[in-house]
Protein backbone atom coordinates (compact mmCIF):
# COMPACT_ATOMS: atom_id res chain seq x y z
CA UNK A 1 0.00 0.00 0.00
CA UNK A 2 2.81 2.41 0.86
CA UNK A 3 4.59 1.69 -2.41
CA UNK A 4 1.38 2.47 -4.37
CA UNK A 5 0.92 5.81 -2.60
CA UNK A 6 4.52 6.78 -3.30
CA UNK A 7 4.06 5.96 -6.99
CA UNK A 8 0.81 7.99 -7.18
CA UNK A 9 2.53 10.96 -5.51
CA UNK A 10 5.44 10.77 -7.96
CA UNK A 11 3.05 10.61 -10.94
CA UNK A 12 1.11 13.69 -9.71
CA UNK A 13 4.36 15.62 -9.20
CA UNK A 14 5.48 14.64 -12.69
CA UNK A 15 2.16 15.78 -14.24
CA UNK A 16 2.33 19.06 -12.31
CA UNK A 17 5.87 19.70 -13.46
CA UNK A 18 4.80 18.98 -17.04
CA UNK A 19 1.98 21.52 -16.82
CA UNK A 20 4.34 24.19 -15.46
CA UNK A 21 6.83 23.37 -18.17
CA UNK A 22 4.10 23.69 -20.85
CA UNK A 23 3.00 27.05 -19.44
CA UNK A 24 6.53 28.36 -19.53
CA UNK A 25 7.11 27.01 -23.01
CA UNK A 26 3.78 28.41 -24.21
CA UNK A 27 4.60 31.88 -22.83
CA UNK A 28 8.00 31.86 -24.46
CA UNK A 29 6.39 30.77 -27.72
CA UNK A 30 3.92 33.67 -27.63
CA UNK A 31 6.69 36.16 -26.94
CA UNK A 32 8.75 34.65 -29.73
CA UNK A 33 5.80 34.89 -32.12
CA UNK A 34 5.25 38.54 -31.21
CA UNK A 35 8.89 39.38 -31.87
CA UNK A 36 8.79 37.49 -35.15
CA UNK A 37 5.61 39.35 -36.09
CA UNK A 38 7.24 42.71 -35.39
CA UNK A 39 10.26 41.83 -37.52
CA UNK A 40 7.99 40.65 -40.35
CA UNK A 41 6.03 43.92 -40.08
CA UNK A 42 9.20 46.00 -40.26
CA UNK A 43 10.44 44.05 -43.26
CA UNK A 44 7.06 44.51 -44.98
CA UNK A 45 7.19 48.28 -44.34
CA UNK A 46 10.74 48.46 -45.71
CA UNK A 47 9.71 46.52 -48.81
CA UNK A 48 6.70 48.80 -49.31
CA UNK A 49 8.95 51.86 -49.04
CA UNK A 50 11.37 50.45 -51.60
CA UNK A 51 8.50 49.75 -54.00
CA UNK A 52 7.08 53.30 -53.57
CA UNK A 53 10.45 54.85 -54.37
CA UNK A 54 11.05 52.50 -57.32
CA UNK A 55 7.60 52.90 -58.92
CA UNK A 56 6.59 56.47 -58.09
CA UNK A 57 9.62 58.28 -56.63
CA UNK A 58 7.58 58.87 -53.48
CA UNK A 59 7.84 57.88 -49.84
CA UNK A 60 6.34 58.89 -46.49
CA UNK A 61 9.05 60.21 -44.18
CA UNK A 62 9.05 60.27 -40.39
CA UNK A 63 6.70 62.75 -38.69
CA UNK A 64 4.17 62.03 -41.46
CA UNK A 65 5.75 64.14 -44.19
CA UNK A 66 5.16 62.81 -47.70
CA UNK A 67 7.98 63.21 -50.21
CA UNK A 68 7.22 63.65 -53.92
CA UNK A 69 9.88 63.93 -56.62
CA UNK A 70 9.32 65.68 -59.95
CA UNK A 71 12.24 64.50 -62.08
CA UNK A 72 13.18 64.15 -65.73
CA UNK A 73 10.46 65.08 -68.20
CA UNK A 74 6.84 65.53 -67.14
CA UNK A 75 4.90 62.99 -69.16
CA UNK A 76 1.44 63.93 -70.35
CA UNK A 77 -1.13 62.27 -72.57
CA UNK A 78 1.49 60.54 -74.72
CA UNK A 79 4.04 58.04 -73.42
CA UNK A 80 7.68 59.00 -73.84
CA UNK A 81 10.39 56.51 -74.92
CA UNK A 82 11.31 53.83 -72.38
CA UNK A 83 14.85 55.20 -72.01
CA UNK A 84 13.57 58.64 -70.91
CA UNK A 85 13.45 59.55 -67.22
CA UNK A 86 9.90 60.76 -66.64
CA UNK A 87 7.39 61.87 -64.04
CA UNK A 88 3.97 60.50 -64.94
CA UNK A 89 1.10 62.78 -64.00
CA UNK A 90 -1.29 59.83 -63.71
CA UNK A 91 0.87 58.69 -60.77
CA UNK A 92 1.16 62.10 -59.09
CA UNK A 93 -2.49 63.24 -59.25
CA UNK A 94 -4.02 60.22 -57.43
CA UNK A 95 -1.27 60.39 -54.81
CA UNK A 96 -1.99 64.07 -54.14
CA UNK A 97 -5.69 63.26 -53.75
CA UNK A 98 -4.81 60.46 -51.29
CA UNK A 99 -2.56 62.87 -49.33
CA UNK A 100 -5.40 65.37 -49.02
CA UNK A 101 -7.74 62.65 -47.77
CA UNK A 102 -5.22 61.11 -45.34
CA UNK A 103 -5.51 61.86 -41.62
CA UNK A 104 -1.95 60.69 -40.99
CA UNK A 105 0.04 62.80 -43.50
CA UNK A 106 0.64 66.30 -42.16
CA UNK A 107 2.79 67.92 -44.84
CA UNK A 108 4.30 67.49 -48.31
CA UNK A 109 7.88 68.05 -49.49
CA UNK A 110 8.39 68.33 -53.27
CA UNK A 111 11.86 67.84 -54.80
CA UNK A 112 12.28 69.09 -58.38
CA UNK A 113 14.89 68.38 -61.02
CA UNK A 114 12.99 68.59 -64.29
CA UNK A 115 13.46 69.86 -67.82
CA UNK A 116 9.72 70.53 -68.11
CA UNK A 117 7.37 68.68 -70.41
CA UNK A 118 3.64 68.50 -71.14
CA UNK A 119 1.98 71.84 -70.35
CA UNK A 120 -1.45 70.45 -69.45
CA UNK A 121 0.03 67.75 -67.20
CA UNK A 122 2.38 70.21 -65.49
CA UNK A 123 -0.37 72.72 -64.80
CA UNK A 124 -2.62 69.94 -63.47
CA UNK A 125 0.07 68.91 -60.98
CA UNK A 126 0.71 72.54 -60.00
CA UNK A 127 -3.00 73.22 -59.42
CA UNK A 128 -3.35 70.08 -57.30
CA UNK A 129 -0.38 71.03 -55.10
CA UNK A 130 -1.63 74.61 -54.73
CA UNK A 131 -5.09 73.41 -53.67
CA UNK A 132 -3.86 71.07 -50.91
CA UNK A 133 -5.00 72.11 -47.44
CA UNK A 134 -1.82 70.67 -45.91
CA UNK A 135 1.50 72.57 -45.73
CA UNK A 136 3.73 72.19 -48.79
CA UNK A 137 7.38 73.09 -49.41
CA UNK A 138 9.27 72.76 -52.70
CA UNK A 139 13.01 72.49 -53.30
CA UNK A 140 14.60 72.99 -56.74
CA UNK A 141 17.64 70.75 -57.21
CA UNK A 142 19.56 70.89 -60.47
CA UNK A 143 16.79 72.61 -62.38
CA UNK A 144 13.09 73.33 -62.70
CA UNK A 145 12.65 74.43 -66.29
CA UNK A 146 9.69 75.42 -68.41
CA UNK A 147 6.46 73.94 -66.95
CA UNK A 148 8.51 72.99 -63.87
CA UNK A 149 8.37 76.67 -62.84
CA UNK A 150 4.62 76.64 -61.98
CA UNK A 151 5.12 73.41 -60.01
CA UNK A 152 7.99 74.96 -58.01
CA UNK A 153 5.95 78.04 -57.05
CA UNK A 154 2.75 76.08 -56.32
CA UNK A 155 3.98 75.15 -52.82
CA UNK A 156 3.37 77.32 -49.75
CA UNK A 157 7.11 78.03 -49.56
CA UNK A 158 9.87 77.40 -52.11
CA UNK A 159 13.65 76.90 -52.00
CA UNK A 160 16.33 76.62 -54.65
CA UNK A 161 19.90 75.43 -54.17
CA UNK A 162 22.67 77.90 -55.06
CA UNK A 163 23.48 76.06 -58.32
CA UNK A 164 19.86 75.32 -59.25
CA UNK A 165 18.45 76.79 -62.48
CA UNK A 166 15.04 77.87 -63.75
CA UNK A 167 14.34 78.46 -67.43
CA UNK A 168 11.40 80.66 -68.41
CA UNK A 169 10.52 80.52 -72.11
CA UNK A 170 7.50 80.64 -74.44
CA UNK A 171 5.30 77.60 -75.04
CA UNK A 172 6.56 75.26 -77.76
CA UNK A 173 4.66 72.60 -79.63
CA UNK A 174 6.03 69.47 -81.26
CA UNK A 175 4.60 68.21 -84.53
CA UNK A 176 3.01 70.13 -87.39
CA UNK A 177 2.18 73.78 -86.65
CA UNK A 178 -0.52 75.35 -88.83
CA UNK A 179 0.51 78.83 -89.97
CA UNK A 180 -2.75 80.58 -89.10
CA UNK A 181 -3.82 83.32 -86.65
CA UNK A 182 -5.72 80.73 -84.61
CA UNK A 183 -2.47 78.88 -83.88
CA UNK A 184 -0.90 82.04 -82.46
CA UNK A 185 -4.02 82.71 -80.37
CA UNK A 186 -3.88 79.19 -78.95
CA UNK A 187 -0.20 79.55 -78.00
CA UNK A 188 -0.90 82.97 -76.48
CA UNK A 189 -3.75 81.54 -74.43
CA UNK A 190 -1.53 78.77 -73.04
CA UNK A 191 1.20 81.27 -72.14
CA UNK A 192 -1.35 83.49 -70.41
CA UNK A 193 -2.48 80.54 -68.28
CA UNK A 194 1.11 79.77 -67.26
CA UNK A 195 2.00 83.41 -66.53
CA UNK A 196 -1.23 83.89 -64.60
CA UNK A 197 -0.56 80.88 -62.39
CA UNK A 198 3.08 81.77 -61.69
CA UNK A 199 2.35 85.43 -60.87
CA UNK A 200 -0.50 84.47 -58.50
CA UNK A 201 1.73 82.08 -56.52
CA UNK A 202 4.92 84.13 -56.14
CA UNK A 203 6.11 87.72 -55.67
CA UNK A 204 7.07 88.28 -59.32
CA UNK A 205 4.81 90.52 -61.38
CA UNK A 206 3.20 89.19 -64.54
CA UNK A 207 4.71 91.94 -66.72
CA UNK A 208 8.22 91.06 -65.49
CA UNK A 209 7.63 87.34 -66.08
CA UNK A 210 6.58 88.10 -69.66
CA UNK A 211 9.78 90.10 -70.18
CA UNK A 212 11.85 87.16 -68.95
CA UNK A 213 9.88 84.77 -71.14
CA UNK A 214 10.40 86.77 -74.33
CA UNK A 215 13.98 87.91 -73.74
CA UNK A 216 16.06 87.56 -76.93
CA UNK A 217 19.52 88.19 -75.49
CA UNK A 218 20.27 85.16 -73.33
CA UNK A 219 19.36 81.90 -75.10
CA UNK A 220 21.12 81.36 -78.43
CA UNK A 221 18.61 81.04 -81.29
CA UNK A 222 15.76 81.01 -78.80
CA UNK A 223 13.67 83.19 -76.48
CA UNK A 224 13.70 83.08 -72.71
CA UNK A 225 15.78 83.51 -69.57
CA UNK A 226 17.91 81.27 -67.36
CA UNK A 227 17.85 82.15 -63.65
CA UNK A 228 20.49 80.60 -61.37
CA UNK A 229 19.90 80.18 -57.63
CA UNK A 230 19.90 83.64 -56.08
CA UNK A 231 18.62 85.26 -59.31
CA UNK A 232 15.35 83.31 -59.02
CA UNK A 233 14.96 84.67 -55.49
CA UNK A 234 15.81 88.25 -56.54
CA UNK A 235 13.18 88.07 -59.29
CA UNK A 236 10.61 87.06 -56.66
CA UNK A 237 9.88 83.65 -58.19
CA UNK A 238 11.42 81.53 -55.41
CA UNK A 239 11.25 82.43 -51.70
CA UNK A 240 14.75 81.51 -50.55
CA UNK A 241 18.08 79.92 -51.44
CA UNK A 242 18.55 76.78 -49.33
CA UNK A 243 18.97 73.03 -49.20
CA UNK A 244 17.24 69.97 -47.82
CA UNK A 245 17.82 70.87 -44.16
CA UNK A 246 16.19 74.29 -44.69
CA UNK A 247 13.26 72.72 -46.49
CA UNK A 248 12.75 70.15 -43.72
CA UNK A 249 12.85 72.81 -41.00
CA UNK A 250 10.34 74.89 -42.91
CA UNK A 251 7.84 72.08 -43.43
CA UNK A 252 8.05 71.24 -39.71
CA UNK A 253 7.43 74.87 -38.77
CA UNK A 254 4.44 75.08 -41.12
CA UNK A 255 3.00 71.89 -39.64
Neighbours of 144 (CB within 10 A): 33
Which pTM does this prediction carry?
A: 0.72
Question: Is the per-residue pLDDT at 46 higher than 50?
Answer: yes
* Residue 52 C-beta-side C-alpha neighbours within 13 Å: 16
Residues identified as active-site: 146, 169
What pLDDT is attached to residue 63? 65
Spatial neighbors of 95 by CB under 8 A, at least 6 apart, are: 56, 58, 66, 68
From 96-110, 150-164, 181-195, the region with the lowest mean pLDDT: 181-195
Better-scored residue on pLDDT, 225 or 89:
225
The span from the CA of 56 to the CA of 48, in Å, is 12
What pLDDT is attached to residue 65? 92
Amino acid sequence: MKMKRVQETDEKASVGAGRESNKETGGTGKESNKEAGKEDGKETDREKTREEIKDFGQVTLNHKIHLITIIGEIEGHECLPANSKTTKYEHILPQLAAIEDSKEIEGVLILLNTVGGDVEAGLAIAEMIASLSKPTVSLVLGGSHSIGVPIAVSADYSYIVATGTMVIHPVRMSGTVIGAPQTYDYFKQMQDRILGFISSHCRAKRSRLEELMLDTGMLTKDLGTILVGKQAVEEGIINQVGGISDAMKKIHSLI
